[in-house]
Amino acid sequence: MKTNTVKLGVNIDHVATLRQARRDVDPDPVAAAGVCRQAGADMIVCHLRQDRRHIQDADLFKLCDLKGETHLELSTAPEMVALALKARPDSVCLVPESPREITTQGGINLKTQAKAVGRAVERLKKADIEVSLFIDPEAGSVRLSKSLGADLVELCTSAYAEAPGKNRRAAELERLELAGYLADEMGLGIHAGHALNYHNVRPVARIPRLGALNIGFAIVARSVFVGLKTAVLEMKLLLS
Ligand code: PXP
């Protein structure tokens, strides 16, 4: 019988988006993290953005104090890295961030951002925090991730999820598989995520040696109809 080895990281940012719509206390992303864990989430993921549009500093500190794995998505800005060093999540994924984007726009450009990424990786690793880099599924980015000292890569699945038509989608899946293969050969752990949902997740979950999938929007959106526990359970089932 096949055992489920792909971990599910549930990104709870959009629970906080809803709370911030009224600057209220509910729905509380920290309480949501507990529900997600009970339903089988292996990691709780959040993105502390520089504009603080959803997750707030206090949320991050509380999430890092909970039992279980907390994974933080973060820009390379030195003040953001300093916050991560204080909050001490188990792992950090460095992501590109620009002020008016609706969501993260693809992987980090490691050619133009090498210095900033290298500095952030060094500071985080010195503090024993595992570091992942959010990259597009390209050989060059995988190699640069290794040379910049990352432990893991998170392969951006947006191009796969947004591919028009079966053929393009199959080609994007192959790019993910090849990048995953190279990352594994180079001794990097492999995560993947962004824009995954209940309809497109299964082929990605079968990528060899994939360690975890990080999924947020689709789960929180589904929770409006079925509740958070069921939304997480349904996603877990698709990964098994
Ligand atoms: N992985 C990374 C690096 C992200 O920035 C995000 C969005 O915060 C996700 C995964 C989750 O994306 P989605 O909300 O589309 O599932």
CATH number, domain of 65, equals 3.20.20.70
Determine the 3-state secondary structure of 199 from DSSP.
Answer: coil
Q: Provide the residue type at 137 as one letter.
A: P
State the pLDDT confidence band at 4, using cuts at 50, 70 and 90: very low
C-alpha to C-alpha distance for 47 and 238, rounded to whole angstroms: 24
* pLDDT for 50 beyond 80: yes
Task: Decide whether any atom of ligand 1 lies within 6 Å of the 158 Cβ.
Answer: no
C-alpha to C-alpha distance for 161 and 224, rounded to whole angstroms: 22
Q: 107: closest CA among 82, 135, 85, 132?
A: 135
Ligand 1, from 214, 215, 220, 232: best to mutate by most atoms within 8 Å of Cβ?
214
State the pLDDT confidence band at 231, using cuts at 50, 70 and 90: very high
* pLDDT for 10 beyond 60: yes
Ligand 1, from 7, 8, 11: best to mutate by most atoms within 8 Å of Cβ?
11
C-alpha to C-alpha distance for 213 and 195, rounded to whole angstroms: 11
Task: Count CB neighbours of 97 within 10 A.
Answer: 19
Report CA(38)–ligand 1 centroid distance (Å). Answer: 21
Active site (annotated) includes residue 54? no
Mean pLDDT of 220-229: 98
* pLDDT for 2 beyond 70: no
Q: What's the pLDDT at 102?
A: 84
Catalytic option among 47, 54, 71, 191: 47
Atom of ligand 1 nearest to the CA of 217: 14
- 186-211 in b/e burial notation, b at 16+ Cβ within 10 A? eebbbbbbbbbebebbeebbebeebb
Catalytic option among 73, 97, 154, 172: 73
- For residue 2, tell me if it sits in a domain: no
Q: What's the pLDDT at 98?
A: 84
- For residue 1, tell me if it sits in a domain: no
Q: What's the pLDDT at 111?
A: 94
* pLDDT for 82 beyond 70: yes
Structural domain span for residue 151: 7-239
- For residue 69, tell me if it sits in a domain: yes
Atom of ligand 1 nearest to the CA of 11: 11
Q: What is the pTM of this model?
A: 0.96
- For residue 37, tell me if it sits in a domain: yes
Number of domains in the chain: 1
Task: Decide whether any atom of ligand 1 lies within 6 Å of the 93 Cβ.
Answer: yes
